[in-house]
Structure 1
Amino acid sequence: MLSYYCPVCNGLETAELSCPQCGIAAEDYGRFNDYLGPYSPYRPIDDLSLTNGFADVQNQVCVHVFNCSPCGHTFYAFLPERQAGT
């Protein structure tokens, strides 16, 4: 089985996205799965990804929450994961 990882979560890259509402740079609040419960950050990533309502495991993406402070808009971004060993 192939293994994938998020380069943003692992500090190898930064995610810089603009707010779709106002166009101002939005702040990355981290993985969506970390907001699913008090112990979510400590559970296996694929375990949560199979039950979070997104097709992130199948599409090899990591769902991140972004927020735009000026307009208050919160949105999700599907960041591509990399195959381990590449």
Structure 2
Amino acid sequence: MENNGREADFYDDYSPYMPIDQMKLEDGYPTDFAEGECPHLFKCSNCGSSQVFLIKE
């Protein structure tokens, strides 16, 4: 699987420009802010499936 970056960057056109801490409050992952984790979107280049993994900052 290939890391495509922060999941929040794919929410809308302006998401990549929003402050990271603000997006963490809105992304729906309750532990990412407190645990110092960041949800990243991983995609398989063979089958096209995708999955979100929490990456330690």
How high is the TM-score relative to the length of structure 1? Answer: 0.61
Query: What is the aligned counterpart of 2:16 among 35, 41, 44?
Result: 41
After the TM superposition, which parts of structure 1 deviate over 4 Å for at least 4 consecutive aligned residues?
A: none
Give the helix-richer structure, 1 or 2: 2
Aligned counterpart, 2:42: 66
Q: Displacement of 1:59 after TM fit? A: 1.7
Q: Please state whether the residue corresponding to 2:8 is helix, strand or coil.
A: helix
Q: Displacement of 1:36 after TM fit? A: 1.3
Q: Displacement of 1:68 after TM fit? A: 0.3
Matches of 2:12 and 2:22, distance apart in 1: 13
Instruction: In structure 2, list runs of 5 or more residues that go unmatched.
Output: none
Instruction: In structure 1, list runs of 5 or more residues that go unmatched.
Output: 1-25, 82-86
Larger radius of gyration: 1
How high is the TM-score relative to the length of structure 2? Answer: 0.89
Aligned length: 56
Give the strand-richer structure, 1 or 2: 2
Q: Displacement of 1:71 after TM fit? A: 1.8
- Please tell me the root mean square deviation across aligned C-alpha atoms, in Å: 0.9
Could you tell me the percent identity over the aligned residues? 39
**1:1-86 paired onto structure 2 within 5 Å:** 26-55=1-30, 56-81=32-57
Matches of 1:30 and 1:51, distance apart in 2: 17
